[in-house]
Amino acid sequence: MVPIERPLSRRTALGFGAKVLLAISLAGCDAQNWYGTDVSGSMPDLDFTLTRASDGQIVKQTDFRGEIVALFFGYTFCPDVCPMTLANLTALTQSLGENAGRLSILFVTVDPERDTLEQLVRYVENFTERATALRGTDDQLIKLTRRLRVTYKIADHVPGDANYEVSHGKSIYVFDAEGEARLIWPSFETADADIAAATRDIERLIADA
């Protein structure tokens, strides 16, 4: 005998609907508490092998374990997005006060041809001591950008010609103290970037560590 599907009683239907609405409401409230987009569980953990510009040492993601990481891709010849983004990240570290030491800003160059280690050091020193400039081989950079689904493009140019354009994304990738991807800030390049809201994101991750 084929079972007959019976309609839900009015009371049961209302109760079920109320539970669904409550779940949606709670999820919405939780999402709204973040300034960035919550990517927990939908993006891979932090994983890289790159060269630290300040001392030429090879570093991995484990060297930053225990710290909140804000990862940004750019290049030192960038005329607008990179300097404004780093300036805003510097303001963020200042707003963290005594918690500033819990945040590491990683600036990964997508233009290793022009961005020598010395050039990278000089560049980030203009902003904050909490910023670490990183440079990789072509293979290392490709591996990291593909892992995080980051796009960038270097304009065609004659080898040795230093006058060329680079296009890259503006997003900042935020990882918690365990190296797990937690947030993406879509852009931090404008003078009216919400530093206070971003600071709350970092403080919340610090509290959860």
Cα–Cα distance measured from residue 187 to residue 80, given in angstroms and rounded to the nearest whole number = 12
Q: Do 81 and 107 meet the contact criterion of CB atoms below 8 Å apart?
A: no
Torsion on CA atoms 123, 58, 147, 92, rounded to nearest 10: -40
**Residue ranges at the known binding site:** 78, 82, 168
**Residue ranges at the known binding site for Cu cation:** 78, 82, 168
Q: What's the 3-state SS for 100-158? A: HHHEEEEEEECCCCCCCHHHHHHHHHCCCCCEEEEECCHHHHHHHHHHCCCCEEECCCC
Pairing between β-strand 152-154 and β-strand 131-135 as defined by DSSP bridges: unpaired
For residue 71 the two structure tokens come to 């990862």
